[in-house]
Structure 1
């Protein structure tokens, strides 16, 4: 059985009537110092492929990564997905994306100059957003926070989105909850019980969205407070839970 965190029960057994929404970093995949150092094992890709079939396609990735990054990570799978916390969205029919403001180029140049002073820090250009990472350079946290706050003057309509040792400059409006609701309005997600699995503050919007539609959230890790009703200890426990879901669904198939 998958490990659980204290004070939050493990999620219930898999049901084929779910619509499953999965965060990626810190949920499906373990963190690395740099985003490009993260890889999805073939066993996980096979598990997601099998679950997608069991859910008649109602499985989506909901991530801070771009759609292009998600497709590269989980190739050859091409799943419904929300990238950049909902600024990019792809259902089974089409994809949409927000435009990049010109001022972001100057902010990017200045951010990279600052990060270069702290070996291990990284400025990730995601097109519409910038992510300032300090997982590999803890001393860069305060300077990057100060820089990002001042950069908002040059980026009207943007705000700061904190994450796990990362801070993003991103447009107002879209978030993971809105992405989940948009997907729930389309086949094959419509009419199913939504389940959202995530670890970070950015996933709280997703937890709230599924709660409002008769579903539930699963928090990865021990962060508190959270709107998630259930919990799993870490990404390894999530992967085990998904593997068990495949086994359970296969034993339930008529034969």
Structure 2
């Protein structure tokens, strides 16, 4: 199971940056919107929708959302905004012009994992199984009494499929992620192409899966930002909450309009 690297406490972001040359990468749940009790309960409020539209224009398209959700879910949540979207931690992605891409996937393992976790969730009321195509998440936020059972089951499945999947932990969830799912590689892929190329990267994220992206951003001399408390993180900066993320980004858009 992945762990974070302790590099000390992060420092608050400067109030205003020279933002016009930034390539901005944003996580979704816990960064742009608050985490809900069930993934399907999440929507993209008007405030965030306006902010993303403004950022897309001001950054000349150098804005991407990189999420653990499936690409189809991200397209539904952000429609009709013409954003660059990366789903399944980067295994699926859509360019801002609508062109879609996806890593190849072996179907036998996905069928086995999906069936096993569907059965587990049915036998443990309150747990939520989320099939993300390239990743399989088991949520226990609404059933903390089953945390140990979730851990035991996910560990057993990981041991059976560890050649293709890694086991990671998030906020009240465990996830088996295909090796194609890696936010660091997703960021690097975008930085190699316009309109992101030759810009200073910034990644804002709140969870352990976002830690994969922070070293890539740091290596490019960019801004890696962890949302919330995290004594162990490779991020160099922090913002304390979703509200602070939104307020900080709105401040940058006002500064760029002057």
For the criterion TM > 0.5, the same-fold answer is: yes
Matched, 1:101 2:107: yes
Q: Mind listing any 5+ residue stretches in structure 2 that lack a counterpart? A: 1-8
Residue 27 of structure 1 aligns with which residue?
31
Match of 1:49 among 53, 69, 75: 53
Residue 66 of structure 2 aligns with which residue?
62
Q: Structure 2 matches for 1:1-255, cutoff 5 A?
A: 8-14=11-17, 15-92=19-96, 94-98=99-103, 99-155=105-161, 156-251=163-258
Alpha-carbon distance between aligned partners in 2 of 1:103 and 1:222, rounded to the nearest angstrom: 36
Kindly state the Cα deviation for residue 92 of structure 1 after the two structures are TM-superposed: 3.8
Distance 1:74 1:163, change over 3 A: same
Kindly state the Cα deviation for residue 176 of structure 1 after the two structures are TM-superposed: 0.4
Alpha-carbon distance between aligned partners in 1 of 2:188 and 2:157, rounded to the nearest angstrom: 31
Alpha-carbon distance between aligned partners in 2 of 1:65 and 1:23, rounded to the nearest angstrom: 10
Kindly state the Cα deviation for residue 116 of structure 1 after the two structures are TM-superposed: 2.3
In the alignment of these two chains, the number of paired residues is: 246
Alpha-carbon distance between aligned partners in 1 of 2:170 and 2:249, rounded to the nearest angstrom: 24
TM-score, structure 1 normalization: 0.90
TM-score, structure 2 normalization: 0.89
Match of 1:77, SS state, is coil
